[in-house]
């Protein structure tokens, strides 16, 4: 065995070009496949690291008629289901919460969660140190305790056990640290650094607030309950509630299609990116297929070139099984070395994909090359080794080695058989490459379409930053208004700043909840869905600062802040949808319960151009309304400045001014508005770039395959080409002949690939934006690109053929 291995390595060293190309191909293909599989496994296949994770579910609402698939629940649901549902061992509430951590003069922003104590029972985790809090801590006055995650404890407290019972300032209030959650808890939400009790006042359980969303509701099923049974029970409980409700509630539920649903936590978490992950897994599988075909082609050509050597070994007594064993061993050595290099490629690729993963699914832990993934890589290596090793073995077994050693030249039939099989493999490569290139082309076209969407504002010269306020500025509405006014005034004092505004929303970034409303003059056809809109709260300066286009009426003025009744500015989509054929200005609608007196109805004062605050790909079709900020005490907002200075100077001045107003104010997520808008395309950009990378890798491997087959063909037909030259064929005729052969192979591959692309591209529909899955421009462009690559790949061996000296060729053998 050792002697055979030495022979294999000697052969590989003697053929450095073949070895290098093969190892590079295998490393790229196995590495890319392993990296994507690691991501898919971490998110979709790997169970959450909790006891009986399939029993952990999320209860969520949906409003099908309003185009909303999934929304959080609320406290009334938690109270109702805790008392009446029979499918659960425990139910718990969870609300993500960002706050200022540390002393008031030097705070930092940290992500945490407000939760009820049952979450620990649902996940069946025990404290690493100290204790977890109890139900008692969800009552006002008992909630000033905090649990740290193990990662936060390590990075901020150096794993000091004395941290228990110490005090920690959170959002300007003092909390007592009572425990440390183990690292496994972070698998539930990787963003969380601390946990504090979710407490609520008695009015929070008012049934009228049942359909106000904003808090996630989780549960652990009873051992004998299934998700389907829990889902059916939830719908029965909702029907019971609606039947006992006033007519207004029944009408709202009917028109919105509001329902309660139950789904597995892992399934619900992955649902937004499931199609993307499957697309990437399919794309990398195609790349792997092309790589295997390419390596098989190389091994096939090499085995044919070694027929004389193998024939001599046969004559000396080596059996076919012995030769087959050596060829298979060579295949396994190549794939094993390629897999080792591929793991390095996978590690580097994972570092890139995890960056995008954190944006697409921030609550998920980064994907890693764990033992199961390494096991997958090993199995994949063995399968590839067998598959690519069988082709040359099959070729050798079909060949008449005795005829090879008895003849002065290789048999023509053997050479023709190899060329036919190699051509078939090249056709396969081209077909698969076309499918991948088509998918990438559709995503590129879709991305370009998304970038062309009119933003409805002018981002040039505007910078944006999120502001977190200390609790001292949220004591009451007056304090909140005072700090907002001070910040706006302070920003206007910065040299070069022409306008400043703040809002509770950032354009294109999404996250706005839907708000149902009632039109005073409801002209919608009977049976129409409950009207809803996304609400943007902002200051009067927003129009000038953001460069919104006023279409009708006016925007907010200072007098609107203190107006007795709310006043609204709506976007153009709202006006067209609910006031078609007439002016929307003066129209009236209200959120919540309609007022009894006609004079109490809020009215519309203006119409502005559409701005896709929830991103250009929002498919709900719901419009946006603007409302001036005239109350509320949120912990932060988004600040916008329009300036003629460089963005870096403006942002630096913004930070300095905020520090002069109050050192406890924290500014973060700063950027020019154009970059902030651009970041909203990160998910689409990530998908596109990964698939484009796979497509161009497939294109490269296909070009390599065409070149390799034609180069081998030229070497095998040197005598024929020499005879053609001797009887008068010109160099251009020889070049044309070889290129035509390459184009024939590419053409057949294109025809086959087009059929496959049409069939498979329909599965990409959910990822496309204003582009059809059968877009002819993409199919034509991709086909022309592949033909061009085929011409270039064919030209090099064609030139070599044209340079063959007829006299030298005629002396061959």
Q: Confirm whether 500 is domain-assigned.
A: no
How confident is the prediction for the chain on average, in pLDDT? 82
Convert the pLDDT of each residue in 436-466 to its tens digit.
888 888 888 888 888 888 888 888 999 999 8
Convert the pLDDT of each residue in 565-576 to its tens digit.
889 999 999 999
Tell me how far apart the alpha carbons of residues 138 and 201 are, in angstroms, rounded to a whole number: 10
Question: What is the total count of domains within the chain?
Answer: 2
Of the listed ranges 50-59, 300-309, 767-776, the one predicted with least confidence = 300-309
pLDDT class of 410 with cuts at 50, 70, 90: very low
| Residue finishing a domain among 255, 271, 287 | 271
Tell me how far apart the alpha carbons of residues 767 and 688 are, in angstroms, rounded to a whole number: 10
Q: Which residues contact 259 (CB under 8 A, 6 or more apart)?
A: 61, 62, 63, 64, 235, 238
Q: Confirm whether 656 is domain-assigned.
A: no
Packed helices 274-305 and 320-360: angle between N→C axes, nearest 10 degrees = 160
Q: Which of 213, 251, 238 is nearest to 528 (CA)?
A: 251
Q: Which residues contact 364 (CB under 8 A, 6 or more apart)?
A: 42, 43, 190, 269, 357, 358
Q: Which residues contact 381 (CB under 8 A, 6 or more apart)?
A: 30, 335, 336, 338, 339
Q: What is the pLDDT of residue 135?
A: 87
Q: Are residues 258 and 282 in the same domain?
A: no
Q: Are residues 260 and 401 in the same domain?
A: no
Q: Are residues 297 and 264 in the same domain?
A: no
**DSSP 8-state code for residue 41:** I
624 exposed, middle or buried (CB, 10 Å; 0-12, 13-18, 19+)?
buried
Q: Are residues 266 and 285 in the same domain?
A: no
| Helix%, strand%, coil% for the chain, nearest 5 | 55, 15, 25
| Residue finishing a domain among 663, 695, 720 | 720
| Residue finishing a domain among 271, 294, 315 | 271
Convert the pLDDT of each residue in 185-219 to its tens digit.
999 998 899 999 988 877 766 666 676 667 899 99
Q: Are residues 322 and 351 in the same domain?
A: yes
Cα R_g (the chain), whole angstroms: 34
Q: Confirm whether 373 is domain-assigned.
A: yes
Q: Find the mean pLDDT for residues 698-719.
A: 71
Tell me how far apart the alpha carbons of residues 659 and 665 are, in angstroms, rounded to a whole number: 7
Spatial contact of 118 and 92, defined as CB atoms under 8 Å apart: yes
Q: Are residues 182 and 309 in the same domain?
A: no
Convert the pLDDT of each residue in 526-549 to its tens digit.
777 778 888 899 999 999 999 999
Q: Is this model's pTM higher than 0.85 or not?
A: no
Which range has highest mean pLDDT (206-220, 226-240, 469-483)?
226-240
Q: Which domain holds residue 131?
A: 53-271
Q: Confirm whether 754 is domain-assigned.
A: no
Q: What is the pLDDT of residue 500?
A: 93
Q: Find the mean pLDDT for residues 555-581.
A: 88
Q: Are residues 288 and 429 in the same domain?
A: yes
Q: What is the pLDDT of residue 114?
A: 92
Q: Confirm whether 636 is domain-assigned.
A: no
Tell me how far apart the alpha carbons of residues 252 and 620 are, in angstroms, rounded to a whole number: 18
Of the listed ranges 105-109, 183-187, 210-214, 407-411, the one predicted with least confidence = 407-411
Q: Confirm whether 84 is domain-assigned.
A: yes
* Neighbouring C-beta atoms of residue 386, cutoff 10 Å: 13
Q: Are residues 87 and 140 in the same domain?
A: yes
Q: Apex CA 713: angle with CA 711 and CA 718, to 5°? A: 95
Q: What is the pLDDT of residue 21?
A: 79
Q: Confirm whether 447 is domain-assigned.
A: yes
Q: Are residues 20 and 91 in the same domain?
A: no
Q: What is the pLDDT of residue 178?
A: 93
Q: Are residues 112 and 213 in the same domain?
A: yes
Q: Confirm whether 98 is domain-assigned.
A: yes
Q: Which of 513, 663, 741 is nearest to 102 (CA)?
A: 663
Q: Are residues 257 and 321 in the same domain?
A: no
């Amino acid at each position: 065995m050792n002697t055979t291995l030495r022979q294999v390595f000697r052969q590989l060293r003697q053929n450095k070009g073949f070895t290098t190309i093969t190892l590079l191909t295998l490393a790229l293909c196995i590495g890319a496949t392993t990296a994507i599989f690691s991501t898919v496994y971490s998110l979709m296949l790997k169970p959450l690291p909790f006891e009986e994770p399939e029993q952990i579910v999320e209860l969520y609402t949906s409003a099908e008629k309003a185009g909303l698939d999934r929304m959080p629940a609320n406290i009334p649901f938690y109270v109702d289901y805790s008392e009446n549902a029979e499918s659960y061992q425990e139910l718990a509430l969870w609300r993500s919460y960002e706050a200022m951590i540390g002393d008031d003069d030097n705070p930092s922003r940290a992500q945490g969660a407000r939760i009820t104590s049952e979450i620990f029972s649902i996940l069946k985790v025990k404290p690493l140190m100290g204790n977890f809090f109890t139900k008692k801590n969800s009552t006002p006055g008992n909630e000033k305790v905090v649990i740290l995650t193990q990662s936060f404890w390590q990075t901020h407290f150096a794993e000091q056990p004395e941290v228990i019972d110490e005090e920690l300032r959170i959002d300007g209030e003092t909390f007592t640290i009572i425990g440390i959650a183990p690292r496994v808890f972070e698998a539930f939400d990787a963003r969380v650094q601390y946990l504090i009790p979710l407490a609520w006042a008695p009015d929070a359980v008012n049934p009228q607030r049942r359909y106000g969303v904003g808090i996630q509701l989780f549960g652990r099923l009873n051992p004998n309950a299934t998700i389907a049974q829990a889902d059916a029970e939830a719908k029965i409980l909702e029907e019971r509630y609606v039947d006992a409700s006033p007519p207004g509630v029944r009408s709202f539920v009917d028109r919105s299609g509001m329902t309660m649903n139950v789904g597995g936590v892992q399934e619900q978490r992955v649902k937004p990116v499931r199609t993307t992950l499957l697309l990437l897994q399919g794309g990398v599988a195609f790349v792997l297929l092309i790589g295997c075909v390419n390596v098989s082609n190389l091994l096939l050509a090499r085995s044919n070139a070694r027929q004389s050597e193998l024939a001599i070994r046969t004559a000396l007594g080596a059996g076919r099984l012995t030769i087959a064993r050596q060829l298979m061993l060579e295949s396994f050595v190549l794939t094993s070395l390629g897999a080792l290099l591929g793991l390095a490629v996978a590690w580097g690729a994972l570092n890139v994909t995890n960056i995008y993963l954190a944006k697409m699914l921030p609550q998920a832990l980064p994907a890693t090359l764990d033992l199961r993934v390494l096991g997958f890589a090993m199995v994949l290596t063995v399968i590839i080794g067998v598959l690519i090793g069988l082709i040359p073995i099959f070729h050798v077994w079909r060949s008449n080695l005795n005829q090879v050693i008895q003849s002065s030249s290789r048999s023509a039939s053997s050479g023709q058989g190899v060329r036919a099989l190699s051509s078939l493999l090249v056709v396969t490569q081209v077909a698969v490459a076309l499918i991948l290139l088509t998918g990438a082309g559709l995503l590129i076209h879709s991305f370009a379409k998304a970038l062309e969407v009119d933003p409805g504002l002018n981002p040039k010269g505007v910078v944006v930053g999120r502001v977190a306020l200390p609790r001292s500025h949220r004591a009451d509405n007056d304090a909140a208004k005072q700090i907002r006014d001070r910040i706006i005034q302070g920003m206007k004092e910065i040299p070069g700043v022409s306008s400043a505004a703040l809002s509770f929303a950032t354009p294109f970034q999404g996250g706005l909840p839907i708000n149902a409303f009632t039109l005073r003059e409801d002209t919608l056809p009977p049976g129409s869905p409950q009207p809803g809109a996304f609400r943007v709260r902002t200051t009067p300066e927003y129009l000038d600062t953001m460069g919104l286009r006023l279409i009708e009426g006016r925007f907010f003025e200072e007098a609107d802040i203190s107006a007795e009744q709310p006043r609204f500015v709506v976007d153009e989509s709202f006006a067209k949808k609910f006031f078609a054929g007439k002016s929307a200005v003066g129209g009236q609608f209200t959120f919540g319960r309609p007022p009894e007196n006609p004079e109490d109805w809020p009215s519309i004062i203006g119409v502005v151009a559409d701005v896709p605050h929830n991103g250009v790909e929002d498919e709900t079709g719901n419009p946006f309304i603007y409302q001036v900020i005239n109350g509320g005490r949120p912990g932060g907002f988004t600040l916008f400045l329009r300036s003629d200075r460089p963005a870096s100077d403006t942002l630096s001045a913004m930070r300095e001014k905020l520090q002069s107003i109050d050192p406890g104010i924290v500014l973060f997520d700063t950027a020019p508005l154009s970059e902030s808008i651009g970041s909203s395309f990160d998910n689409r950009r990530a998908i596109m770039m990964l698939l484009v990378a796979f497509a161009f890798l497939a294109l490269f491997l296909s070009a390599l395959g065409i070149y390799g087959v034609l180069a081998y063909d030229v070497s095998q037909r040197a005598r024929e080409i020499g005879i053609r030259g001797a009887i008068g064929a010109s160099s251009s005729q020889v070049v044309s002949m070889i290129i035509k052969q390459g184009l024939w192979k590419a053409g057949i591959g294109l025809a086959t690939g087009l059929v496959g692309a049409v069939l498979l591209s329909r599965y990409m529909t959910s990822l496309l934006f204003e582009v059809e899955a059968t877009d002819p421009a993409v199919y034509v462009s991709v086909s022309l690109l592949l033909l061009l690559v085929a011409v270039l790949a064919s030209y090099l061996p064609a030139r070599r053929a044209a340079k063959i000296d007829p006299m030298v060729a005629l002396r061959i053998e």
